[in-house]
Structure formats: C-alpha cells, structure tokens
C-alpha cells in the first residue's frame, strides 16, 4: 500500500496518542487504580527527568495518573495541513513547525513514560499536505529567501530526520507538491509520496489507524 509496491503497510509516525486512549469499555477508568490497569503494568514505566509524579505534581498524583492502555499493536496517523501553527488569534508562529516541534514530547511520552517502542509497539505515520508539505523539503521559499533570491534551507529538517530515525514514516501529498513546486530531488531523505494527503489519511483510518490532527 504505502511502504512498498506490494501490499505491506508498515506505517510508522507521530505526537501525543490521545486518539489511542479509547480501548475497551471500562478499561481506562479502573476502580482498582491507574497502576492496576493494563494487566498490572507499571504506570508510568519511567519518570521524565527521573522525578516521581508525587514530587513533580504533589502527593497522590501517581495514584490518579492513567497511562496508555494499548501498548502493543497501536497505529497512529498524524495529519499535518499547515507548515506553521497559529495561535487563537490566527497569528502564525514561523519559529515552530506544526507537529515537528512536538516530536521529542511524543517520543518521551510513548517510549519513556509508557515503555513503548516506536516502530515496534506503535506504528506512526505522518502525512503532510497543503502548506505542511514544505516541512518535508530541503529548502523552500516558505522559509524565506536569501540575498540572492534562493529559498532558505528547511530549519526543521533535523526534526524530520529524528522522527525517521525513530521509526516514523513521512509522506508528502503530491497535490501539495504540485502547488508548492516541490520536486523529488528537493525532498528530505526517507520521505515518500502519496497521491493525495487527505485520501491517504482516510485509507489509513480504514486500515485501523487512529488519526491525530495537531
């Protein structure tokens, strides 16, 4: 389907798996307490920065903290339609990239807190369309022009590379590529095409992927 020309879809990608937190009935709200959920697995598996939750948030915090229930065979698609996030007033912040600036937080939450391995316990796919497609280029005018009128390098390329190295899979919508003037030789290493971003997301949904839209 997507990862190769045969029909094996090994998808992998990214951000806080909110959509994955809706498993079996009553499993998420257990009368026996958060740490008894999911077959008695620890919650959290590890503390961020080594600070216990009761120390970071106050006594009793760990007992009321619910971690992910589905920690194996999870599937997530992140749909990115804009290159830069906007605040509540619609003001765009070009110092941040939609979703990409949260990759580290997603990795921490899945792998450190919940003990899941990206690419093994959860497949994460990122589909970028509309202006978001610029985030998968080596250089683009969306990031400004240099003194000679050439497109500036993509300042967020390292975050894409980090996601790919972790096992996430990134796809660029060809319809967006046409609009943005993106050619294959300007795409970041490891990025692949889908013919249409929104249709690809629908296809992934039908394959069992939960959708997260930053």
What is the β-pairing status of strands 74-80 and 169-173?
unpaired
pLDDT bracket for residue 45 (50, 70, 90): confident
Task: Report how far residue 164's alpha carbon sits from residue 35's, in angstroms, rounded to the nearest whole number.
Answer: 32
Q: What are the pLDDT digits (tens) for 150-209? A: 999 999 999 999 999 999 999 999 999 999 999 999 999 999 999 999 999 999 999 999
Residue 6 lies in a domain: no
Same domain, 36 and 104: no
Tell whether 202 and 137 lie within a shared domain: yes
Extract the tokens encoding 36: 């008894």
CATH number for the domain spanning 199: value is 3.40.1260.10
For the stretch 78-122, pLDDT in tens is 999 999 999 889 899 999 999 999 999 999 999 999 999 999 999
Q: 187 lies in a domain?
A: yes
The 3-state secondary structure of 53-83 reads: HHHHCCCCCHHHCCCCCCCCCEEEEEEECCC
Same domain, 58 and 89: no
108 and 128 in one domain?
yes
Same domain, 168 and 100: yes
Q: Give residues with Cβ within 8 angstroms of 118, minimum separation 6.
A: 12, 14, 107, 110, 111, 124, 166, 167, 168
- Domain count for the chain, please give it: 2
Same domain? 58 vs 30: yes
Cα–Cα distance, 189 to 21 (Å, whole number)? 32
Whole-model pTM: value is 0.82
Residues spanned by the domain of 51 = 26-68
Burial class (CB in 10 A: 0-12, 13-18, 19+), 123: buried
Q: Are residues 154 and 188 in the same domain?
A: yes
Q: Are residues 41 and 60 in the same domain?
A: yes
In a domain, 117, yes or no: yes
Task: Say if 170 falls within a structural domain.
Answer: yes
Looking at the structure, tell me whether residues 91 and 33 fall in a common domain: no
170 and 200 within one domain: yes
- C-alpha span between 49 and 194 (Å, rounded): 38
């Amino acid at each position: 389907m997507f990862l190769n020309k045969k029909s094996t879809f090994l998808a992998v990608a990214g951000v806080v798996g909110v959509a994955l937190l809706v498993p079996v009935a009553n499993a998420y709200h257990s009368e026996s307490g958060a740490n008894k959920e999911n077959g008695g697995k620890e919650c959290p598996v590890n503390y961020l920065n080594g600070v216990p939750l009761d120390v970071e948030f106050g006594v009793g915090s760990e007992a009321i903290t619910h971690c992910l229930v589905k920690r194996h065979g999870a599937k997530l698609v992140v749909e990115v339609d804009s290159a830069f996030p906007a605040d509540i007033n619609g003001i765009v912040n070009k110092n941040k990239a939609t979703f990409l600036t949260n990759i580290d937080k997603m990795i921490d939450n899945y792998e450190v807190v919940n003990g899941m391995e990206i690419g093994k316990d959860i497949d994460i796919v990122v589909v970028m369309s509309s202006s978001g497609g610029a985030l998968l280029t080596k250089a683009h005018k969306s990031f400004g022009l240099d003194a000679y009128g050439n497109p500036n390098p993509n300042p967020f390329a390292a975050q894409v590379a980090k996601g790919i190295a972790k096992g996430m899979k990134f796809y660029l919508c060809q319809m967006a590529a046409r609009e943005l003037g993106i050619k294959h030789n300007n795409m970041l290493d490891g990025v692949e095409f889908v013919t249409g971003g929104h249709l690809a997301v629908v296809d992934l949904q039908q394959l069992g992927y939960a959708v997260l839209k930053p």
